[in-house]
Structure 1
Amino acid sequence: MTKTAIADAAQQKDFEETTYTKVTWRLIPFLFICYVFAYLDRVNVGFAKLQMLSDLKFSETVYGLGAGIFFIGYFIFEVPSNIALHRFGARKWIARIMVTWGVVAAAMVFVKTPAVFYFLRFLLGVAEAGFFPGIILYLTYWYPAARRAKIIALFMTGIPIAGVVGGPLSGWILNRFDKVNGLPGWQWLFLLEAIPSILTGIAVYFYLDDKVSTSHWLTPAQKSLLEKNIAGDSGNLEVHSAFGAFKTKRVWVLCAGYFGIVMGLYGVSFWLPTLIKASGVTDALDVGLLTMIPYGAAAIAMVLVGRSSDRMKERRWHVAIPAVIGAIALVVSTFYSNNTALAVITLTFATVGILSALCQFWSVPTAFLGGVAAAAGIALINSVGNLAGFVSPYMVGWIKDATKSTDLGLYCIAVSLVVSALIMLSMPKGVVNR
C-alpha cells in the first residue's frame, strides 16, 4: 500500500470516528436521561413500599402483585407499540410514551386500595410499553452491529444511575415531604418523580430526529457514511419481516434467555431497598444512600464489559459470565442478610453481574434481525422476557409472606440466571458474534 493510500485510510478512519463521536454526544446523553426517568418511575414503588404498606395495610403479596402487574400491560402492548414507532417515527412515538407514563405515574398518589394499586400499575405498563425496545431499535438506525454493544451499554447505564440518583432522592423525599400538606411521603414521591418524565417527553418531540437522513446537525458526508455503514450490515441480517421474526426459533430462545435475566433485574430493583433495610438500616435516607453503591458499581461495569465485547467481537460469554456472577452473589447474599456491610457487598456483585448481562444481551438479537423484523423481534423478546418482571416480585413477595424470608425467592432467581447463561451459550457463535 502506498503512503498516499495509507494516509487516505487514516484520514477516513479519523473522519468516521469523529462522525460517530458526534452522533454519540448528540443522542446518548439525552436518551440516557430519558431512560433514567423511565426506570425511576417504574421502580420507585420499591421505595414507596417502605411507607405505603404500613399506611395502606397492604401485605407483601399485594405489593409483589402490584409491582409485577405493570408487566402484564407492558407485555400486551409492547409489540404493537414498537411497530408503531417503526412506522410513525421515534420522535412522536417516544414523546407520546413519556408524557403518558408521567401522567399515570403521578396518578399513583390516588392509591387507597389494592384494586386501584393494581389498575394504575397495569396502566403504567401500558403507557411505557415500547419505550425500551423502541430505543434499542432506534439505535440500530444510527450504529452498525460492530459498535452497538458499547452504545447499548452507555444507554442502559440509565438503570444503575436511576438507582444512584433515585435511591438518595427517593429516601430524601420520603423523609422531607412526609405529612407536608397532609400527604404522606410516598404520595409526594410518586408526584415529584413523575414531573421530569412529562417535561422530558415534551423535549423529545423537538430534539430527536427520526433517522439519519432527516438530521439537520450532520453534514451530507457524515450522513452518507452512517447510511453506508448501516446498509453494510444488511448482508448479515437473516430476518427482515415482522412475521419472519415470530417464526424464527432463535427469537423464542432469546425470549427464554432474557426472561431469566429479567428475573434477576427486578428481583434486585424491587427488593434491594427492603433487603438493605432488613440488614439493620432503619432510616429511609440511609437506605437510599446505600443503594447507590451497587448501582454505581454496576454503571462502571456495564461500560467496561460493553467495550470488551466490542473489542473482542464476542457476545455470548459477555452475557453468560456476568449472569453466573450475579447468581452466585445473590445466593451468597442470603448468608449475610443481618450484616449490613457484607449484605451491601454481595448485593453489589449481584447487581453488577445482572445489569452487565442485561445490557450485553441486546447486542445479540440486533445481530441477525433487520427492518420491521427488528421492531417486532426486539419488542417480542422484551415483552416476553419482561413477564419475569411480574413473576419475580410476586414470587418473592409470596415467599416472604409464607416463610418470613426472601432467601428462597433469591435462590429461585439465581437458578433462572444460570439457565439464561446456558441458553446464551447455546446460540450459534457465527450468528451473534458480530
Structure 2
Amino acid sequence: MIVEQTLFRQAVWRIIPLLIVCYMFSYLDRINLSFARLPMEHELQFSDSTFGLGAGLFFLGYIICQVPSALILERIGPRLTIAAIMLAWSVTSFLFILVHSAWQFCLLRIVLGAAEAGFYPAVLYYLALWFPRAMLARVTGGFLLAIPLSGVLGGPVSTYLLHAMDGVLGLSGWKWMFLIEAVPPLLLGGVVFCRLDDGPMTAKWVPASQRAPLAAALAHGKGGENAFVTQIGSGGETGRRASFLAALGQREVRLLVVICFCQAVCNYGIVFWIPTFIGQVIPGSPTATGLYTAIPFAVAAISMTLNARSSDKHEERCWHLAGPFLCVCICLVLTFFVQARGGLALFFLTGALAGALCTTSMIFTLPPYVLSPSTLATGLAWINSLGAIGGLLGPYGIGWMRDHFGSPLAGVFLVAGCALLGAVLTVGGLARRGAVPTSASR
C-alpha cells in the first residue's frame, strides 16, 4: 500500500502541474476576448449584443463536438487526444488575426469551441485512469485551479499586449493578443505528447513489478463512482444508444441539466463580462482594468479551494453548491445598486465571480451520488452537453440587455436570476428529497 501511495504522489507531481498549465491556456483562450471587447467592437463595428453572441457561440461548437471527441478519445487514447486538441485550438487562435467582420468573428468562435470540446472530458477521463476515488476529488479540484489562475495571469498580460502591441507591423493590439497567446498551447501540446502516458499500465516511469499492485489499488478504489471510465465509448452499440436516450428520461438527470445550465450562465456570463463591469464601476486605463480584474480571480482561487475542502470534510455536496449560487445572486444585485461606489462594487463583483467559480468546481461532484453506476456515463454526457447551452445564453443575454435596457449593468439580473434558480433546484430538488446520501447511508 505504501508503494502505491508513493506512485500516486509521483503521478500527481508528474501530471497535475502540466495539466493545470494546459487548462489555464485553454480557459484563457476562451475568455481573452473579454479584455479586447472595446477595440474589437470599435474596429469591427459591432454592438455589445454581437460581442456577447460571438462569446457564447463558442459553446455551439463545443456542444456539437462533445460526442465525436469522446469517440476520438476512445480510438487514439488521452495523450494523443489532448495534444491534438491543443494543436487545433492554437491554430484556430492564430486565425483570429484574419478577422475583419462580425460574421468571421462568430464563425471562428464556433470553430474554437469545436476544437476545445474534448479537452475537459479527456482530462477528467485521464485523471480517473490514474487516481482512486479517495484522491480523485482533490486532484480534480487542483486541476480546476487553472480557471482562476487564467484570470489572475491572463488579465494583466492580455491588457498589456492590447496596449503595447497596438499598431506593431500594422496589426491591432487585440490581434497581437490572440497571436501571442496562441503560441504556448502549441508548445505545450508537444510537451503533453512527450511527457504524458496513456495510463498507469503503459507508463514507462512505473516499474513493471509495481503495475499489477497499482492496477489492483485503482480497481479497488474506483467502484461505481468512476463507472463512466469503462463506458466512455459506448455510444456505438444499439442497446447502449437506447440507454443513452433513456438516461434523459430520469428526473435526476433532467434536474442536473438545468442546474448545470444555471452554473454555465453564472460562470461564463460573469467571466466574459467582468473586465467590462470593472471598467464601468472603476473607470481607468485598460492596463488598470486588467490589474483590477486579477483580484476577483485570485480570491476565486482561494474560495474554490476552501469550499472544496469543506465539502470533503463534511461529506456534503448540495449546500456547498447552493451556497455559492446564492452568493452569486446576492452579490450581483448589490453590485447593481452600489455601482457608483467603485471599491464597494468591485468587492461585490469579486464575491460574484468567486461564487460562480465555486459552482463550477462543485457541479460534477453531485452526479456520482445521484445517478446509478449504469447511467452515470450517459447522464454525465447529457448534463455536460445540454448544460453548456448556458454558456451561450449568459454572455449573449448580458450583451443584449446592455444594448436594450440602457444600463451597462442591467445584464447582472439575468445571471442573478439563474443563480437563484440553481440554488433553489439544488436544495429543493436534491438535498431535501434525499437524492444525495449521507455518509451513514453510503
TM-score between the two structures when normalised by the length of structure 1:
0.90
**Contact kept in structure 2, 1:44 and 1:170, CA below 8 Å:** yes
Instruction: Specify which of 341, 350, 353 is matched with residue 352 of structure 2.
Output: 350
Gap change, CA 1:401 and 1:193, over 3 Å in 2: same
Deviation at 1:365, TM superposition (A): 2.8
Gap change, CA 1:236 and 1:382, over 3 Å in 2: closer
**Contact kept in structure 2, 1:83 and 1:372, CA below 8 Å:** no
Three-state SS of the structure 1 residue aligned to 2:206 is coil
**Contact kept in structure 1, 2:369 and 2:436, CA below 8 Å:** no
Gap change, CA 1:80 and 1:410, over 3 Å in 2: same
Instruction: Indicate the residue corresponding to 1:150 in structure 2.
Output: 138
What is the rounded CA distance, in whole Å, between the counterparts of 2:438 and 2:177 in structure 1?
A: 45
Deviation at 1:279, TM superposition (A): 1.2
What is the rounded CA distance, in whole Å, between the counterparts of 2:154 and 2:369 in structure 1?
A: 33
What is the rounded CA distance, in whole Å, between the counterparts of 1:251 and 1:411 in structure 2?
A: 27
Deviation at 1:168, TM superposition (A): 0.2
Three-state SS of the structure 2 residue aligned to 1:212 is coil
Instruction: Indicate the residue corresponding to 1:124 in structure 2.
Output: 112
Mean CA deviation greater in 416-425 or 258-267: 416-425
What is the rounded CA distance, in whole Å, between the counterparts of 1:289 and 1:71 in structure 2?
A: 28
Alignment pair present for 1:22 and 2:21: no
Deviation at 1:379, TM superposition (A): 4.0
Instruction: Specify which of 386, 392, 398 is matched with residue 390 of structure 1.
Output: 392
Gap change, CA 1:342 and 1:407, over 3 Å in 2: same
Question: Superposed, which structure 2 residues align to 1:22-421 within 5 Å?
Answer: 22-220=10-208, 223-232=211-220, 233-235=222-224, 240=231, 242=235, 243=240, 244-248=243-247, 249=250, 250-366=252-368, 377-421=379-423
Mean CA deviation greater in 420-429 or 230-239: 230-239
Mean CA deviation greater in 62-71 or 137-146: 137-146
What is the rounded CA distance, in whole Å, between the counterparts of 1:204 and 1:73 in structure 2?
A: 24
Three-state SS of the structure 2 residue aligned to 1:44 is helix
Gap change, CA 1:406 and 1:132, over 3 Å in 2: farther
**Contact kept in structure 2, 1:279 and 1:340, CA below 8 Å:** yes
Amino acid at match of 1:326: V
What is the rounded CA distance, in whole Å, between the counterparts of 1:224 and 1:369 in structure 2?
A: 30
Three-state SS of the structure 1 residue aligned to 2:333 is helix
Gap change, CA 1:165 and 1:294, over 3 Å in 2: same
What percent of counterpart residues are identical? 38
Gap change, CA 1:284 and 1:89, over 3 Å in 2: same
Deviation at 1:367, TM superposition (A): 5.2
Amino acid at match of 1:418: L
Instruction: Specify which of 431, 434, 437 is matched with residue 430 of structure 1.
Output: 437
What is the rounded CA distance, in whole Å, between the counterparts of 1:316 and 1:356 in structure 2?
A: 12
RMSD value, Cα:
2.4
Amino acid at match of 1:19: L
Deviation at 1:102, TM superposition (A): 0.7
In the alignment, structure 2 segments of 5+ residues that lack a partner are none
Deviation at 1:56, TM superposition (A): 1.8
Gap change, CA 1:153 and 1:126, over 3 Å in 2: same
Question: Deviation string for 1:182-229 (max 9, x for gaps)?
Answer: 111111011111111111112211122111211122245654454334
What is the rounded CA distance, in whole Å, between the counterparts of 2:207 and 2:172 in structure 1?
A: 53
What is the rounded CA distance, in whole Å, between the counterparts of 1:74 and 1:145 in structure 2?
A: 28
Deviation at 1:375, TM superposition (A): 5.8
Three-state SS of the structure 2 residue aligned to 1:215 is coil
**Contact kept in structure 1, 2:48 and 2:400, CA below 8 Å:** yes
What is the rounded CA distance, in whole Å, between the counterparts of 2:188 and 2:124 in structure 1?
A: 18
What is the rounded CA distance, in whole Å, between the counterparts of 1:215 and 1:314 in structure 2?
A: 35
**Contact kept in structure 1, 2:225 and 2:368, CA below 8 Å:** no
In the alignment, structure 1 segments of 5+ residues that lack a partner are 1-11
TM-score between the two structures when normalised by the length of structure 2:
0.89
Three-state SS of the structure 1 residue aligned to 2:263 is helix
Amino acid at match of 1:134: A
Mean CA deviation greater in 285-294 or 335-344: 335-344
Instruction: Indicate the residue corresponding to 1:9 in structure 2.
Output: none
What is the rounded CA distance, in whole Å, between the counterparts of 1:224 and 1:314 in structure 2?
A: 34
What is the rounded CA distance, in whole Å, between the counterparts of 1:367 and 1:203 in structure 2?
A: 36
Gap change, CA 1:138 and 1:253, over 3 Å in 2: farther
Three-state SS of the structure 2 residue aligned to 1:101 is helix
Mean CA deviation greater in 396-405 or 235-244: 235-244
What is the rounded CA distance, in whole Å, between the counterparts of 1:229 and 1:205 in structure 2?
A: 26
